[in-house]
């Protein structure tokens, strides 16, 4: 299946010219889950794991450059994009296992990983639970994997509340779907606007259209509703530092150096990149800077 069959040109803004010449849309049935990924390029495998409320498309601006040196696999995580949307399985151990199964089905036993936002938490779990699979891991734009001691208090300053209120809201069972349905433009539009930096209006409209399709909202909230499980898992993971090199990436207008600060107690080899003039959406706001940072970090893996 080609990219054009998945995303028509009139519905997918800012898709790089010639994208479909390099990348192919793949559906892989790994047993419990039918997963969707966009795959292309030449070289050692590099798995890209998007954040919330996006899907593989969030990486589109960095994928062509990375594909010159890597086989790029941009996945739709469980519950989002074109991957399956079961009712359960949104803790990061299960989500990491999804990706191990995907990469094995694609013929990759060892690979590098980059994760953003919720994809950060999934990539961290993948590196911790399956260190034999992960060569290097790049983690972008949350201040560390969710842990009990890092949970925000109930009352926080308004500038923090504005960015994090969705976390407790998304965790409520059943109610968010009823409140957001029919108001996806307001809810998701706010989330894209408040997280640091801005995305073009036509791009936000595209994400909102995808998130407004029937059956999407429960899977979108699934990661948040499994946070108790994920936090407990991360308490165990923190007992053993990651052994592979870690690149901690923060947007200067968002979490900045807080990403690396959070990862230093959890990994033995942490490098830091703060992307200038970028907010939370680093792959879309500063693709060239992100490609440069990833390429430099992954150079020993490529050689």
Residue 149 near residue 266 (C-beta atoms within 8 A): no
Local structure of 258: helix, strand or coil: helix
- Asked if residues 117 and 92 have their Cβ atoms less than 8 Å apart, the reply is no
CA distance 69 to 160: 39
| 83 vs 74: CA distance, rounded Å | 12
Give the residue carrying structure tokens 């998304």. Answer: 170
In whole angstroms, what is the distance from residue 299 CA to residue 69 CA? 9
**Structure-block tokens of residue 238:** 């923190």
The two three-digit tokens of residue 53, written as one number:
């409320």
**Of 76, 91, 117, 255, catalytic:** 117
Q: 6 with 24: CB under 8 angstroms?
A: no
CB atoms within 10 A of CB 156: 13
Residue 81 is encoded by which pair of tokens?
């994009």
E-assigned strand segments in the chain: 23-29, 34-41, 45-49, 71-75, 111-116, 134-140, 246-251, 270-275
Q: What angle do CA 277, 279, 281 make, to 5 degrees?
A: 120
The catalytically annotated residue of 36, 116, 166, 280 is 280
Report the first-to-last Cα separation within the chain, whole angstroms: 31
Q: Which residues contact 16 (CB under 8 A, 6 or more apart)?
A: 60, 61, 63, 64
Residues 136, 141, 146, 147, CA torsion sign: positive
- Is 280 catalytic? The answer is yes
Q: Which of 124, 224, 255, 301 is catalytic?
A: 224
List residues with catalytic annotation.
117, 224, 280
């Amino acid at each position: 299946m080609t990219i054009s069959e998945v995303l028509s040109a009139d519905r997918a803004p800012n898709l790089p010219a010639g994208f479909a010449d390099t990348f192919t849309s793949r559906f892989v049935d790994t047993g419990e889950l039918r997963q969707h990924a966009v795959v292309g390029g030449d070289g050692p495998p590099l798995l890209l794991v998007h954040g919330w409320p996006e899907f593989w498309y969030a990486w589109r601006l960095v994928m062509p450059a990375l594909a010159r040196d890597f086989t790029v696999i941009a996945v739709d995580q469980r519950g989002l994009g074109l991957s399956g949307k079961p009712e359960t399985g949104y803790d990061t151990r299960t989500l990491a296992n999804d990706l191990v199964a995907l990469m094995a089905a694609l013929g990759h036993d060892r690979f590098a990983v980059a994760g953003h936002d919720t994809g950060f938490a999934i990539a961290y779990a993948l590196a911790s639970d399956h260190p034999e699979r992960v060569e290097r891991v790049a983690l972008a734009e949350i201040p560390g994997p969710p842990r009990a001691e890092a949970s925000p208090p109930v009352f926080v300053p308004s500038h923090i509340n504005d960015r994090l209120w969705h976390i407790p809201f998304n965790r409520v069972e059943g109610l968010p779907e009823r409140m957001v349905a029919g108001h996806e433009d307001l809810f998701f539009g706010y989330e894209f606007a408040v997280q640091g930096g801005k995305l073009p209006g036509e791009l936000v409209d595209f994400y909102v259209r995808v998130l407004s399709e029937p059956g999407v909202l429960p899977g979108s909230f699934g990661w948040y509703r499994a946070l108790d499980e994920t936090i407990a898992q991360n308490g165990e993971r923190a007992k053993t530092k990651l052994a592979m090199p870690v690149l901690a990436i923060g947007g200067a207008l968002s979490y900045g150096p807080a990403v690396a600060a959070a990862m230093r107690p959890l990994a033995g080899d942490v490098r830091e990149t703060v992307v200038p003039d970028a907010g939370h959406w680093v792959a879309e706001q500063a693709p060239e800077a992100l490609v440069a940072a990833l390429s430099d970090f992954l150079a020993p893996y490529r050689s």
